[in-house]
Amino acid sequence: MNARVFRDTYGVPHLQAGDPLALVYLQGINVARDRAWQIEFERRRYLGTSAAFLGSEAAAWDVFARQARLADTARRCFEALDDETREWITAYVDGVNHALPGGARRAPEFAETGLTLQEWEPWTPLGIWLAVHVLFAGFPSKLWRTHVARHLGDEALELFSSEGPHTSGSNGWLIPGSLTTSGQAIVAGDPHRYIESPGVYQQIQLTCPEYDVLGLAVPGIPGLAHFGHTGKVAWAITNAMADYQDLYAEQLRRTGSGVEALGPEGWTACAVHTEVVEVSGADPIEVEVIETDRGPIITDGISLRYPPRVTSRLGFEVLPKLLRATTVDDVDAAFEQWVEPVNVVLAADTAGGLLHRTAGMVPRRHESNRLRVVPAWEAEHQWDGWHDPMPRATVDGPAVMANARELAAPLGVEFATPHRSRRIRELLASRPMWSVGEMPDIHTDTFLGSAGSILDLLPGLEDLSEQAVALRTEFLGWDRRMDAASTTASSYAALRKALVSRLTDHLTMLEDAHCAEVFAPWMDTLTHVSFALENLIPTDLLPDVNVGWLAREALEEVAARKARPPWGETHQLSPLHALRGPVFAPDEEPFDLGVSGDHHCVMSTSSLPGLTDVCIRGSAARYAFDLADRSASGWVVPLGASGVLGDPHHHDQLPLWQRGELAPVEGSLTREDDEDGAVRLPHPGTVPG
């Protein structure tokens, strides 16, 4: 089998090669051609060199990346891999290095920033994974909780518990064959992340004589880590919301030979060196990198302890094993070696096998470690092995995963409220049988389960103006659907924003938080009030706050305004781009980017409710995998297959995504023209068929 690339109607790459090494080499070539800017940008982030071409606004991240030892950890984890996995990852990197110059010529960001290419190190995919996921479990929330306890007391440690803006949620569900029209299982869902341009997932099919797998790849990472369908088995994940990173308050002292830290056994020497962060348009920043026995210092004398740094493992051994999986037992066995991030896994196979488990590494330690910054010198806060076995469940009906406090409850402290998981279960129970073509009915559900926390305050309000009474009547008759065309949904969002603003005004004591700049978003009071509103409304920990009175003021404020526009006019998708690049090329006609949904809807399209209606988080992809007939499966991403602005496939899936529709996973395929010879060049040491 010669190495070949085919494209479907939406430009999705379908890759074929003669063996796994040639195939992963071809995957590296493909991602370099389609996503050159994206993957090189992510590489510079893990190295802590992005400020050299992005300027001062990227400097805080670069300082953190250096202090957290991301590059060194990636190298350690790569060197600890078995020979076969290292060879497989190296082949991917070789493909990237071969095609990246051509890909960079297509991507306008390189010329705009003056960024020049460097050869990728073999461990670059592991570094990219670390940079994407090191903040995934939300350890900066421990800085916030410690700050809250300092001002409001220890009883308020979990007051702001919520699905915060910096956690990544997802929906996933598995319908057994007994409840489907085909008699075979369906695995479906959608990961929720910041909507980036280019997107964080790449649709792809990988075919060689050993396997034929399609799914969602992370650009810069070989294989299919999160979502895949091999024809005989399909798997998907959501964030388990586990807590597996700790922060330690360190006592440090300078000595004639360096720096020492006080630990449970006394004073011990730290590893210390200095690095320089280059900053475009500004002076370079000298960074002192200090690492104690707990981990590297990442802000104000606080160290970070995280599993990959401790174990020199990330779990990349799992990736090639998933591609070869044909049963849920294969998937289950593969995920036994997973490390970070900790996920909930659903899988089904054509023999009727079903799987619902958690995967990853979570340390055993004192309960307070999970809530706040703890003293490094106290022995009770040391890690004591790993949580084992990881939680799993028997699947005897529809299985749902949506970041709530369910299967993964023993592993964390802060989970998503159960609105999405409860709603998905209600929808699944509403029909006796399901087909894969009906999955968008669940993907696009806009019922806002959290609306009652505010609406239930309204009936008891007295002395309202005529306009406020009319608005209250409108709210109480509302179906609670956050549809783009709904003006009531828009008015509700305005009411919520007004209430959040008033609550925040009563928490000025929390506004003096100090920390490294990279953690500032986690220390913003308005943001925390926005996402913890359901906890704050009934609490008695804020005795000076009369929530009913604040709700009355908020209702009057919204009622006094002119009529609100439909929700979609202000709830506009705004994909993130490092250069704030546009979605549409100059010669393209823009179209409306209004979206339905809201944070706690199944169709989760998140803004910052107390600040803006603009949508910055949502479904980074949607998928519906059919175990009866893989070709009947569907998928979609927010933009498109190409990361190159102006390419026909840059955002051609966006209209589908807005409507909640899915594209076919296997459509008519066209052989891609091979202008630079990349497809024909096999990986050294392999023999194309």
- Domains of the chain are 1-134+167-430+632-689 (3.60.20.10), 446-616 (1.10.1400.10)
Predicted pLDDT of residue 673: 57
Taking only the tens place, the pLDDT of each residue in 134-180 is 998 889 999 999 999 999 999 988 888 765 444 557 999 999 999 99
User: In which band, very low, low, confident or very high, does the pLDDT at 675 lie, cut at 50, 70 and 90?
Assistant: very low
- How far apart (Å, rounded) are the C-alpha atoms in residues 401 and 403? 6
Inform me whether the pLDDT recorded for 594 exceeds 60: yes
pLDDT-based confidence at 667, cuts 50/70/90? confident
What proportion of the chain, given as a percentage, has pLDDT over 90?
88
- Of residues 270 and 667, more confidence is placed in 270
Q: Kindly tell me the number of DSSP H helices and DSSP E strands found in the chain.
A: 22, 26
Q: How far apart are CA 222 and CA 368, in angstroms?
A: 37
Find the mean pLDDT for residues 611-633. Answer: 96
What average pLDDT does this structure show over 416-431?
Answer: 96
Residue 91: predicted pLDDT? 98
Give pTM, 2 decimals. Answer: 0.95
Asked if 635 contacts 600 with a C-beta cutoff of 8 angstroms, the reply is no
pLDDT of 686 higher than 80: no
- Chain-wide mean pLDDT for the chain? 94
Percent of the chain at pLDDT above 70?
96
Mean pLDDT, rounded, for 631-654: 97
Of 86-90, 122-126, 492-496, 673-677, which range is least confident? Answer: 673-677
Runs of H (alpha helix) within 336-408: none
C-beta neighbour count of 638 within 10 angstroms: 27
Write down the pLDDT at residue 565.
96
Put residue 28 in one of left, alpha, beta given phi > 0 → left and psi -120 to 50 → alpha: alpha
**Range with top average pLDDT, 415-419, 444-448, 585-589, 664-668:** 444-448
pLDDT of res. 642: 97
Q: Per-residue pLDDT tens for 218-266?
A: 999 999 999 999 999 999 999 999 999 999 999 999 999 899 999 999 9
CA dihedral (278, 280, 284, 288) positive or negative: negative
The mean-pLDDT minimum among 296-305, 329-338, 508-517, 548-557 falls in: 508-517
The tokens for 340 are: 């970070």
Q: What is the mean pLDDT of residues 532-538?
A: 91
pLDDT value for 643: 96
**What pLDDT score was predicted for residue 172?**
98
Q: What are phi and psi of 327, to 5 degrees?
A: -140, 165
105-137 tens-digit pLDDT: 999 999 999 999 999 999 999 999 999 999 988
Q: What are residue 211's DSSP bridge partners?
A: 208
pLDDT at 684: 46
